[in-house]
Amino acid sequence: MDLTILFGTESGNAELLATELAESLEGVHAVEQSDLADFDPACFDARVLYLIICSTHGEGELPQSAVPFAEAIRRAAPDLSGIRYAMFGLGDSTYPNYSRGSEQVDALLAELHAERIGTYGRHDAAGRDEATVLAIAWANEVLDTASARVAA
């Protein structure tokens, strides 16, 4: 299965996690990785599954690298029917808008008819779980769900 891991980051944590996730999936899947800041929404491809990792900045805002993507997709408002993605949010539950950055990207994609598959993954910086361990387990679950849908 072809995968593209997209990340939105402010401090680099989402990018680091995207790189670690890509390394864990290489060899089994064709994996590309891109910063949301560099991804043109017109390039979405229905043959690709998108794994999106997005942090939250400030009081629930998008991280800086996700802002150009959000502006571009709002402007273009493409019909994303047939586009499949999965979402993994980074945040800290001690803040009232925990994981809100990823939720904003998720809402944008859903409004444009993209289909989120699998569970919504999250890492809580206030917790004890390691982000990489959670992200790899999440990605494997998403890939199992995607594969089962293709087989059905």
Three-class SS state of 46: coil
pLDDT number for residue 41: 95
Which residues have a Cβ under 8 Å from the Cβ of 132 and sit 6 or more positions away?
A: 17, 20, 21, 24
pLDDT number for residue 71: 97
What total of structural domains would you count in the chain? Answer: 1
Tokens matching residue 31? 């994996």
Tokens matching residue 131? 């982000």
Residues in the chain with pLDDT values less than 70: 150-152
> By C-alpha distance, which of 20, 15, 104, 18 is closest to 56?
104
Structural domain boundaries enclosing 143: 2-151
Distance of CA 43 to the CA centre of its chain: 16
pLDDT number for residue 147: 87
Which CATH number goes with the domain that contains 63?
3.40.50.360
85-97 pLDDT per residue, tens = 999 999 999 998 9
Secondary element (H or E) of residue 48: strand 48-54
CA count, 13 A, side-chain hemisphere, 58: 5
pTM: 0.95
pLDDT number for residue 151: 63
